[in-house]
Structure 1
């Protein structure tokens, strides 16, 4: 069977990179390497100024709180946000003794706008994630419009939300809206070589309930055979090698230096439609190289409300050193 032109071109680039048939530029990250931070994800059982108790997949876990612990619940919040039954993601400080940040009911909705009402958006999040009805209150609408000027059907949206019993409520934009329509994303330049590492944007997806644990949605999962890719996924803006579900990628946060190995758990066909940049600690090249689960994103030094970090993605044995266990 003849491969589609775009996928066939990518396979030729992959083959050239592996066999050394053409020069592949190597970008040398300058950030110092640090191991990932410890992260606990679960449901709040109890909270006090000194202790947070979570029910996690591994059982009940207790996390020390301190006077410097920061709580987010749609913005800066206090301990009252840590109500029993709410989902929470706690990142421990570098010394591992107490939580330095806790995010409560954080969620993200990314995809193609299907409809816009006076105070809501209907968004198609892709074949793996279904659709979402996002409440868009006036307090968030102004912020979203600054970075998403085309809230119209057919364009892409990316909003940071708070989970509520009625569904996700937008609080701010995740990144700036790409100027192109969702159905016509620009791909990598014809003949673009695949570097190792690839430099681009890392974002996060889902929430602590729907996407627990460590994982990544990768924009270039192979659609051939049993690799697990989506047949209609476009070529992303960043030139990436084709991988299979279960592959391991190493992600380096250029802003903080945290390096970690993450398994590919989902086809990132939605991420491949975004040709945007991250402007944290400089400006990244265009293109998303990985969408991480909330725990992986936070463990690598990301801030959920910020939405992205500049990343280097190692798809070979690179990274300068072995990524340490989480």
Structure 2
């Protein structure tokens, strides 16, 4: 097994390698050119802003996008204040159920349900370049911004696999399972910590999903609550992150990430957005090349 849950394991989200990075999420309470104030699950978060802070709200934006009431994920680095803020960012990945002229219904799996995604005319062409089979039964992955009508697509999150969602290629049964697994890390949902893993054991009380296809790369089984070491191969940062969900959708995507070279084919983990950003990932890009293994050395306690 990659990383069994145990007493004395590294604290979830503790990061090693590279420059110090922190990330947080919450509802915007106030914003000025010098300070961003969020209301998060753990109370108020106050983050210094600088002229170098980059703001995303469906694309590069200025500080006017930091309006009270909007949801924001902020990343700081080197103690110099926020380097990146993503406002109302949403990701939708799953199987196309129905398609309309300006919207797509997507089944995101048993944990996440279905969602209606608006695809504006000025975005449709960009999505079709990387998702040419925008029809029921095929996979879709889009980066969106929240709107009153539901998630509004702004760009594709990946290139569409060429197979139907119910027929993903699987790893050869004779392929050995390595101690460390390399592939793609993506993100999902709106939580602070945790990850979805494509090979949660479906037997007993391990928490896996029955009917989840085998991933397209050999993965060892783990249980919910296990802690895995996730290393961003592009930044060198690593963290011990708990498995909180079965990655039944990730198992269907046999794609690659090309952020720093080309990753092996297959999604190894889907991270909560705060964990993804804290490891140096860009939520608007949507992936990084990853290595997943055991506990982070030297960070226990």
Q: TM-score range by the shorter chain?
A: over 0.9
Whole-Å separation in 2 of the counterparts to 1:323 and 1:166? 44
Give 1:258's aligned residue: 237
| 1:90-128 alpha-carbon deviations (Å, 9 max, x no partner) | 1002x2230000000000000000011001000000000
Residues 1:238 and 1:323: Cα distance change in structure 2 (over 3 Å): farther
Give 2:6's aligned residue: none
Q: Which residue of 228, 234, 242 maps to 2:213?
A: 234
Residues 1:295 and 1:134: Cα distance change in structure 2 (over 3 Å): same
TM-score, normalisation: structure 2: 0.92
What SS does structure 2 have at the residue aligned with 1:103? Answer: strand
Q: Which residue of 257, 263, 267 maps to 1:288?
A: 267
Give 1:198's aligned residue: 181
Give 1:117's aligned residue: 100
Q: Which residue of 10, 16, 23 maps to 1:39?
A: 23
Q: Larger radius of gyration, structure 1 or 2?
A: 1
What SS does structure 2 have at the residue aligned with 1:71? Answer: strand
Q: Which has the higher contact order (CA 8 A, sep 6+)?
A: 2
| Stretches of structure 2 lacking an aligned partner (at least 5 in a row) | 2-15
Q: CA RMSD in A?
A: 1.5
Give 2:167's aligned residue: 184
Q: Which residue of 43, 48, 51 maps to 2:32?
A: 48
Give 2:126's aligned residue: 143
Of Structure 1 and Structure 2, which has the larger fraction of its residues in helix?
Answer: 1
TM-score, normalisation: structure 1: 0.85
Give 1:76's aligned residue: 60
Q: Paired residues, what number?
A: 287
Whole-Å separation in 1 of the counterparts to 2:65 and 2:121? 22
| Stretches of structure 1 lacking an aligned partner (at least 5 in a row) | 1-13, 15-31
Q: Which residue of 289, 300, 304 maps to 2:279?
A: 300
Whole-Å separation in 1 of the counterparts to 2:163 and 2:143? 21
- 1:84-163, aligned counterparts within 5 Å? 84-93=68-77, 95-163=78-146
Residues 1:190 and 1:133: Cα distance change in structure 2 (over 3 Å): same
Residues 1:117 and 1:48: Cα distance change in structure 2 (over 3 Å): same
- 1:207-218, aligned counterparts within 5 Å? 211-218=190-197
What SS does structure 2 have at the residue aligned with 1:38? Answer: strand
Whole-Å separation in 2 of the counterparts to 1:102 and 1:301? 13
Residues 1:72 and 1:226: Cα distance change in structure 2 (over 3 Å): same
Whole-Å separation in 1 of the counterparts to 2:161 and 2:71? 31
